[in-house]
Amino acid sequence: MGERIVVRASPRIIAPDWKRRLTQPAALILVVLAVLLVVQLIRLLRDPANYITVGVGLAFLLAIFAIPAAAKVMNARLVITPDHVESRDALRRTRRCDRNRLAALVVVRSKLSKVLLLDPAGKAQLSLAWDSYSDDQLDQIRRLLGLPDSPQG
């Protein structure tokens, strides 16, 4: 590989595998919030005086889901060159490491799951937000870097 490859974020909330993710707790919360929003919109149609309640609900959903997803789509990416790997997160913070120092890609599952790019000693060289990339993209990154399949953490 002699060229520069850019893998742009595809947040999991809008990733191609969204149907499978509807069974996960975070997605279920999103579905419940969407139902509550529809109920509020119906309430607004019945009595226009409820516009403040509906507006606050829409602002809440926008702040919680749409703004972070938009920031990830616009800003988060992983740049792979023959010499180095550079990650940029949703807040445009950039980190870089030498490509030849990477030995594994591991997903660490917790409240804030992360994707770690590890050196041979197991030390994290780069950390990616797990929810910024779909599973297909993580497999693509692993293949592009020539890393072995790793167990999920």
On whether the CB atoms of residues 83 and 99 are closer than 8 A, the answer is: yes
Is a pLDDT exceeding 80 seen at residue 110?
A: no
Residues 6+ apart with CB under 8 A from 12: 18, 21, 130, 131, 132, 133, 134
Look at residues 152, 95, 92 and name the one whose alpha carbon lies nearest to residue 127.
Answer: 95
pLDDT of 62-104, one tens digit each? 787 777 777 777 888 999 999 999 999 888 899 999 999 999 9
The pLDDT of residue 111 = 72
The pLDDT of residue 24 = 58
Give the Cα separation of 68 and 19 in Å (integer).
20
Give the Cα separation of 17 and 117 in Å (integer).
23
The pLDDT of residue 12 = 61
Is a pLDDT exceeding 80 seen at residue 152?
A: no
pLDDT band at 61 (very low <50, low <70, confident <90, very high): confident
127 DSSP β-pair partners: 116
The pLDDT of residue 143 = 93
pLDDT of 120-135, one tens digit each? 999 999 999 887 888 8
User: What is the chain's length?
Assistant: 153
> Residue range 16-37: average pLDDT?
65
Q: State the DSSP code for 12.
A: T
